[in-house]
Amino acid sequence: MFKDVAFGQYYPANSAVHKLDSRIKLILTLVYIIGIFFVKSYFGFMLTAALLIIIIIAAKLPMASVLRSVRGILLLVVLTSIINLFMIKDGDVLVQWKIFVITKNGVHTTIKMVLRLVLLISGASLLALTTTPVELADGLESLMRPLSLIKVPVRDIAMIMSIALRFIPTLFDETNKIVSAQKARGASLDTGNIFARIKALIPVLIPLFVSSFRRADELAFAMDARCYNATDKRTKMKKPKIKFSDVLAAFVVLSFFTVILLERYYFPSVGINIDAMIFGGLL
Amino acid sequence: MPFIEIKGVSYVYPLREGVSLKAVKNLSLSIEAGEFVALTGMNGSGKSTLAKLLNGLFKPTEGEILIDGVSTANEERIFDIRRRVGMVFQNPDNQTVATLIEDDVAFGPENLGLPRDEIIKRVNFALQAVGMSEYRKRDAAKLSGGQKQRVAIAGVLAMRPDVLILDEATSMLDPAGREEVMGVVRKLVEQGITVINITHNMEEAALAKRVVVLRKGRLAIDGTPSQVFSSSLFESCGLTLPPAAALAKELKDSGIDVGTVTTEESFAEGICKLLR
Ligand SMILES: Nc1ncnc2c1ncn2[C@@H]1O[C@H](COP(=O)(O)OP(=O)(O)OP(=O)(O)O)[C@@H](O)[C@H]1O
Ligand SMILES: [Mg+2]
């Protein structure tokens, strides 16, 4: 039953974004995240949100799937907003009660921080939603390859990642079997208080560990038998190819990044004016 | 010179300080290129240990194993030996390294550092040979047992081996899966690959041209299936005859001689001859 569950957040869909090269996606996600930290004005945040919405539509993702990942950081957002709101004391005072002061400046900083966090998490989740774990591992390996010059065992790390991913469904199946076997012997795994339940997990975890070690042992023999480590120049059957859509995606995200930088450092008045135009007296 | 030469080989598992277990004892055996051999014997008789000795996963504690004249103890040639002597293990789930079938088959050739075109050619060839071409983009975890083992065989074939060792590769399969895998094996034997099939199933052993029986790490019986099944040592090795041979033996004891029987086919032939 676990076999068909897409672990991680991957949302399968047949879209151009899903088909992008995973290395490009990793790099562009990084560029996007860095870009967010340069955004200063509401205008900049609107640009970012627009980019995000375009990507979500192109990726054929339901909004809910992206919002779900934002829900995960809701508590963090609420807590940091409260702290921010009361910690910033400079600027025009809006409300004052005993030692608690809320200033105009504090409100703006807080709103911007919330926007920044939400846009950041949504952007990062787009990567996880549109890229399978295996593609991510391959992409990371490819990007980390230069590190092998300084003796980082990139190839082995990548192999460990991909084998770990490959064994997740197998171990899920195994866990199900052990649970059934222990239930057949009268174990009750889902009753009692939290301590009873944790204790009930022991007879599941121990056989799972034992069998995992046995599997690891057999797998090591099977890999050796198939000449793993025969040469330092291991080749790959699949060569990722940069497609036109990859170039296009890079162009879009890099343009976004450039606009953000220009707006912040060369034309700050643009953001200020547009913000004033939209929000008028609220600012 | 035989392709595989096992000369006075012993293998000792070191267990703890001062305690060890001799799993293979002074074994000598040779196998010619192109032979189809079944290797059998009770649990713990040393079959898997011998298999791992043959492709250099283990080094003999005593004696020597030569593969086409090269010792498995020769570290410089070890990967060449592993490439030439491919191995398929019992549990299909524990020998698949990749999620996608074609990626798994490519694992061996990738390890050998072959050029991309060559890898693709070999993966196509190997999947074709086991009849799994149309599944190449599928998830390996979602295949049947027989299909998984055929993919495992393809993974070995993609390295262009001379010898294929199957270590109880059919023991976790249902009869249909067993049939599938043995069908592939028979085809490979016809193409001239040397096959060593380790099995507890005597019907399967009877399909080979030669059966080698181990007992407590020593060579006990070596001969054609009919020689082995009629050997006086047969039962002392903890083995039982396949149903057809057992029935023929019963008949012979009650005065009906159907001739030498190893498989159901040879039994049917014997009966036909009697009726004529
Ligand atoms: N890794 C190991 N460490 C220690 N002893 C081992 C190890 N593997 C096998 N043995 C022992 O070596 C002997 C031969 O084992 P081997 O696995 O070769 O037998 P087998 O004929 O393949 O048996 P089976 O039919 O059960 O697969 C057995 O007594 C076994 O307990
Ligand atoms: Mg064994």
pLDDT tens track of chain B, all 276 residues? 899 999 999 999 988 888 899 999 999 999 999 999 999 999 999 999 999 999 999 999 999 999 999 999 999 999 999 999 999 999 999 999 988 899 999 999 999 999 999 999 999 999 999 999 999 988 888 899 999 999 999 999 999 999 999 999 999 999 999 999 999 999 999 999 999 999 999 999 999 999 999 999 999 999 999 999 989 999 999 999 988 888 988 888 888 888 888 888 888 888 888 888
- One domain for residues A125 and A253: yes
Q: Is B52 a member of any domain?
A: yes
Q: Which of the pair, A159 or B58, is modelled with greater confidence?
A: B58
Both tokens assigned to A156? 């082995």
CB < 8 Å & 24+ apart, contacts of A211-218: A211/A174, A212/A171, A212/A174, A215/A167, A215/A170, A215/B91, A215/B93, A215/B94, A218/B89, A218/B91, A218/B94, A218/B95
> Which is it for the CA torsion A55, A244, B114, A231, positive or negative?
negative
- One domain for residues B130 and B215: yes
Distances (CA, A) of B271 to B242, B264, B268: 17, 11, 5
pLDDT of residue A6: 42
Dist. CA B104–CA B119, nearest whole Å: 12
Q: Is B95 a member of any domain?
A: yes
Q: For chain A, what is the largest distance between any 2 Cα atoms, rounded to a whole number of angstroms?
A: 75
Classified as helix, coil or strand, B112 is coil
- One domain for residues B216 and B253: no
A96, β-bridge pairs: A101
- One domain for residues B49 and B124: yes
- One domain for residues B274 and B152: no
Measure in Å the smallest separation between the Cα of B94 and chain A Cα atoms.
5
Range in A4-8, A193-197, B66-70, B141-145 the model is least confident about: A4-8
- One domain for residues B218 and B266: no
- One domain for residues A168 and A246: no
Q: Is A149 a member of any domain?
A: no
Asked whether the predicted pLDDT for residue A115 surpasses 90, the reply is yes
The residue-averaged pLDDT of A139-152 equals 88
- One domain for residues A82 and A219: no
The secondary structure of residue A177, as a DSSP letter, is H
The pLDDT tens digits for A230-259 are 888 888 888 878 899 999 999 999 999 999
- One domain for residues A5 and A86: yes
Q: Is B8 a member of any domain?
A: no
B218, β-bridge pairs: B215
β-sheet with B163-167: strand ranges across: B85-88, B163-167, B194-198, B36-41, B210-215, B218-223
Q: Is A174 a member of any domain?
A: yes
- One domain for residues A123 and A209: no
Q: What is the SS3 string spanning B32-97?
A: CCCCEEEEEECCCCCHHHHHHHHCCCCCCCEEEEEECCEECCCHHHHHHHHHHEEEECCCHHHCCC
State CA B266 to chain mean position distance. 23
pLDDT of residue B138: 87
Find the domain containing B262 and state its range.
241-276
- One domain for residues B84 and B168: yes
Amino acid residing at B85 = V
- One domain for residues A162 and A109: no
Both tokens assigned to A282? 């609220």
Dist. CA B177–CA B130, nearest whole Å: 13
Strands (DSSP E) along chain A, which ranges? 93-97, 100-103
Closest ligand, as measured to the CA of B46: 1
Distances (CA, A) of B243 to A241, B82, B262: 57, 37, 9
The residue-averaged pLDDT of A209-230 equals 94
Number of domains in chain A: 2
CB atoms within 10 A of CB A131: 24
* Contacts A–B by Cβ distance under 8 A: 99
- In 3D space, the residue among A132, A137, A107, A128 whose CA is nearest the CA of residue A282 turns out to be A107
Residue in this structure with the two tokens 């020593």, named with its chain if needed: B218
Entry field: residues in chain A: 283
- One domain for residues A78 and A210: no
The chain-wide mean pLDDT, for chain A, equals 87
pLDDT tier, A107 (very low <50, low <70, confident <90, very high otherwise):
confident
Q: Is A234 a member of any domain?
A: no
User: Could A166 and B123 be called an inter-chain contact, meaning their C-beta atoms sit closer than 8 Å?
Assistant: no
Last residue of a domain, one of A190, A205, A229: A229
Distances (CA, A) of A213 to A171, A220, B49: 12, 11, 19
CB atoms within 10 A of CB A120: 17
pLDDT tier, A283 (very low <50, low <70, confident <90, very high otherwise):
low
Q: Which atom of ligand 1 is nearest to the CA of B47?
A: 21
Q: CB of B65 within 8 A of CB of B53?
A: yes
The contacts of residue B200 (CB under 8 Å, 6+ apart) are B40, B168, B171
**By alpha-carbon position, which residue is closest to atom 17 of ligand 1?**
B48
- One domain for residues B83 and B173: yes
CB atoms within 10 A of CB A278: 12
- One domain for residues A84 and A176: no
- Helices A104-130 + A42-58 axis angle, to 10: 20
Q: Is A128 a member of any domain?
A: yes
Q: Which of the pair, A7 or B196, is modelled with greater confidence?
A: B196
The secondary structure of residue B139, as a DSSP letter, is B
CB atoms within 10 A of CB A109: 17
Q: CB of A13 within 8 A of CB of A188?
A: no
- One domain for residues A76 and A12: yes
Asked whether the predicted pLDDT for residue A136 surpasses 90, the reply is no
The pLDDT tens digits for A24-70 are 999 999 999 999 999 988 999 999 999 999 999 999 999 888 888 88
B47 lines ligand 1 (CB under 6 A): yes
- One domain for residues B256 and B139: no
- One domain for residues A28 and A166: no
Q: Is B23 a member of any domain?
A: no
Q: Is B127 a member of any domain?
A: yes
Distances (CA, A) of B201 to B42, B45, B173: 11, 15, 12
pLDDT of residue A281: 66
B2, β-bridge pairs: none
**HSE, side-chain direction, 13 A CA sphere, residue B276:** 7
pLDDT of residue A3: 38
Q: Is A146 a member of any domain?
A: no
**Among B101, B110, B137, B156, the residue to mutate for chain A (most A Cβ within 10 A):** B110
Give yes or no for B92 touching A (CB within 8 A). Answer: no
Residue in this structure with the two tokens 């009849």, named with its chain if needed: B131
Dist. CA A273–CA A260, nearest whole Å: 15
Q: CB of B261 within 8 A of CB of B244?
A: yes
Q: Is A162 a member of any domain?
A: yes
Q: Is B172 a member of any domain?
A: yes
Q: Is B148 a member of any domain?
A: yes
Pairing status of strand B62-67 against strand B70-71: antiparallel
Return the H-helix or E-strand segment holding A123. Answer: helix A104-130
Both tokens assigned to A79? 């807590």
- One domain for residues A100 and A196: no
B21 lines ligand 1 (CB under 6 A): yes
Number of domains in chain B: 2
- One domain for residues B184 and B257: no
**Among A10, A227, A231, the residue to mutate for chain B (most B Cβ within 10 A):** A227
Dist. CA A132–CA B28, nearest whole Å: 51
Q: Is A276 a member of any domain?
A: yes
Dist. CA B200–CA A199, nearest whole Å: 41
B41 lines ligand 1 (CB under 6 A): yes
- In 3D space, the residue among A263, A276, A269 whose CA is nearest the CA of residue A44 turns out to be A263
C-alpha of residue A222 to centroid of ligand 1, in Å: 16
Q: CB of B223 within 8 A of CB of B210?
A: yes
Q: Is A147 a member of any domain?
A: no
ipTM of the complex as predicted: 0.91
pLDDT of residue B239: 92
CATH number at residue B47: 3.40.50.300
- One domain for residues A105 and A217: no
pLDDT tier, A71 (very low <50, low <70, confident <90, very high otherwise):
confident
Both tokens assigned to B172? 């976790």
- One domain for residues B108 and B152: yes
Find the domain containing A18 and state its range.
1-133+239-283
- One domain for residues B186 and B126: yes
Dist. CA B12–CA A163, nearest whole Å: 31
Q: Which atom of ligand 1 is nearest to the CA of B50?
A: 18
Classified as helix, coil or strand, B166 is strand
The secondary structure of residue B98, as a DSSP letter, is S
